[in-house]
Amino acid sequence: MIDRIWAPWRAQYVSGTDPESRPASSCFLCQGLAEDRDGENLIAWRGEETVVILNRYPYNNGHLLVAPIVHKGSLQDLEGRSLVEPVQTIRWMLRILDRMMRPQGYNVGLNQGKAAGAGLPGHLHWHIVPRWDGDVNFMPVLGETKVVTESLRSFQERLRREIEADLKAGATLTE
């Protein structure tokens, strides 16, 4: 029987020794947007008002974050395109993930505020988590470990290719 399963990427994150971790006071979304390192920052797409980024510690394959570019912590603080474009982007990403991964469902959610579970309470972001029947296996129950079968870099490249193909074909957020 296995008592522990070593997951070094999680240990580094929890301990704060992850070389790519940011100080607690900074916003990893704003920092990533300010840099010209989309690959390293796991940014898959930048819109006029919205960014799509891979979750560095995914709950499941294809776990994405969709965030307004503007640093706001409440839906009430968003207006106009900053409010509308993230929802249109979520809908677009669902279409792309349907093609790429054929999930049987999704968890799509926004945690607003620390008390609601927001790990980054100052910058709103929606989670998109593809789901499949039976995707919860024995690993989380026995080993408190989630199995993600594709590397972030590999998935990021596949997702970026799908986004580019959609844009080349004339796709828009309002479809």
* Residue positions annotated with a catalytic role: 125
> Does residue 47 contact residue 86 with C-beta atoms inside 8 Å?
no
Cβ contact 60:131 at 8 Å? yes
Q: Per the structure block, which two tokens stand in for 144? A: 């408190």
- 99 φ, ψ (degrees, to nearest 5): -65, -45
CB atoms inside a 10 Å sphere around CB 82:
17
**To 10 degrees, the CA torsion angle through 41, 47, 49, 53?**
-30
In one-letter notation, the amino acid at residue 154 is: S
Contact 5, 146 (CB under 8 A): no
Alpha helices in 4-127 (DSSP H): 8-15, 28-34, 81-101
Q: Among 97, 161, 171, 166, which residue's Cα sits nearest to residue 127?
A: 97
